[in-house]
Structure 1
Amino acid sequence: MPEDVFDTVATPGATEDAHQGSGYWYPPNPDSLTSVELLNLLREYREAEKAMRVRTSQHMGMGETDLVALRFLLRQRSVGRVCRQRDLARALNMAPASASSLVDRLSREGYIRRTPHPEDRRSVGLEVLENTDREVKATLSELYSRMIRETESLTEEERAGAAKFLRGLIRSVCHHPEP
């Protein structure tokens, strides 16, 4: 069974070129890109990004969920927020018990520590340790630099077009039809 059923199934009501399936068997046309070819490129990017996440997790000796949790905690810290375990559970869409196990593991392995929350002394804050911050940055900085170079190689109009496309896709996958 495919990991993501939507990777191989045409959507009812889609435009005519999408009704021809995923389009992977058609040779690419370097002069123009059909909607299907563009979506196939996006799918290829998602697969490459997923493989990168697996490699990064393996390099750091942790599971992918652990790495996602650390990235979330680092982003929150960068904007001055101290997260609680429940904030992490909500952000990662996980049950409180699973978040507790995750926090226990990250703490035990020396990536984070529990501290009194600065705004609510009854709560426990999650603090990312400096060595973790350095390790994550060292592991991901070259990747992010390459990605920034790619986006900076686009003209302002191309970036605007890419942003419009991606926002439209986000809206399309977030849309929940009425039952």
Structure 2
Amino acid sequence: MSAGGHDDVLAAEVLTALAAWQIPIVQFNGMVAERVGMGWTDLQALYVLANHGPATPTDLARRVNLTTGSASRMIDRLERAGFVRRVPDRQDRRRVLIEPLPAAVARVGSFYDQLNELHRHDLADMTHDELRTLARFMKAAAASTEAAIRSL
């Protein structure tokens, strides 16, 4: 055991497996983006909106790591293609929110149905404690990755 209480060899194995999984995930997302006629960053933006709710253009730009000018062009593309719409913010009518269109989210989401079913199968034989540990790691890894992005 290391000083942090983790087996260094097993931790390295987990990180290697995670890195190996990231490659096909990126490839899969790229294929989905291509199939629905959008770029990779546009797909990320739709994911952010579908999973975190409507956002101001500035917030959306920050979440997908774009300048506000690039995000504005991306929002225009997504709106023209029927993936999002601009709506007034109910809290502050001077602001505009970008919200995903449910039919578009369902259409794009349908490409993930088979993959999600395969992942459910992958998780099926794990215990409650294993799943809880895996979920805790994935949440921490997401936060750490976002912190690393901000530091770049």
Q: What TM-score bracket applies, with the shorter chain setting the length?
A: 0.7 to 0.9
Kept in 1, the 8 Å contact 2:42–2:74? The answer is yes
Q: What corresponds to 2:51 in structure 1?
A: 75
Counterpart-to-counterpart distance in 2, 1:37 and 1:49: 18
Within 5 A, what are the aligned runs for 1:27-38? Answer: 34-38=10-14
Residue deviations 1:46-72, cap 9 Å, x none? 111111111111121211111110011
Q: Which of 11, 15, 24 is the equivalent residue of 1:39?
A: 15
Q: CA deviation at 1:122?
A: 0.3
Counterpart-to-counterpart distance in 1, 2:129 and 2:32: 33
Counterpart-to-counterpart distance in 1, 2:143 and 2:26: 22
Q: Which of 112, 115, 119 is the equivalent residue of 1:147?
A: 119
Counterpart-to-counterpart distance in 2, 1:67 and 1:171: 20
Counterpart-to-counterpart distance in 2, 1:76 and 1:168: 18
Within 5 A, what are the aligned runs for 1:9-158? Answer: 34-77=10-53, 82-158=54-130
Counterpart-to-counterpart distance in 1, 2:111 and 2:121: 17
**Residues 56 and 159 (structure 1 numbering): CA distance in 2 closer, same or farther, change over 3 Å?**
same
Q: Percent identity?
A: 29
Gaps of 5+ in 1: 1-17, 19-32
Q: CA deviation at 1:135?
A: 0.7
Larger C-alpha radius of gyration, 1 or 2? 1
Q: What amino acid is aligned across from residue 52 of structure 1 in structure 2?
A: F
Residue deviations 1:7-35, cap 9 Å, x none? xxxxxxxxxxx8xxxxxxxxxxxxxx744
Q: CA deviation at 1:141?
A: 2.1
Q: What amino acid is aligned across from residue 55 of structure 1 in structure 2?
A: M
- Larger RCO (CA within 8 A; separation ≥ 6): 2
Counterpart-to-counterpart distance in 1, 2:103 and 2:111: 12
Alignment size in residue pairs: 141
Q: Structure 2 length as normaliser, TM-score? A: 0.77
Give the SS at the match of 2:77: helix
Gaps of 5+ in 2: 1-7
Give the SS at the match of 1:83: coil
Counterpart-to-counterpart distance in 1, 2:57 and 2:143: 29
Kept in 1, the 8 Å contact 2:45–2:60? The answer is yes
Counterpart-to-counterpart distance in 1, 2:143 and 2:38: 32
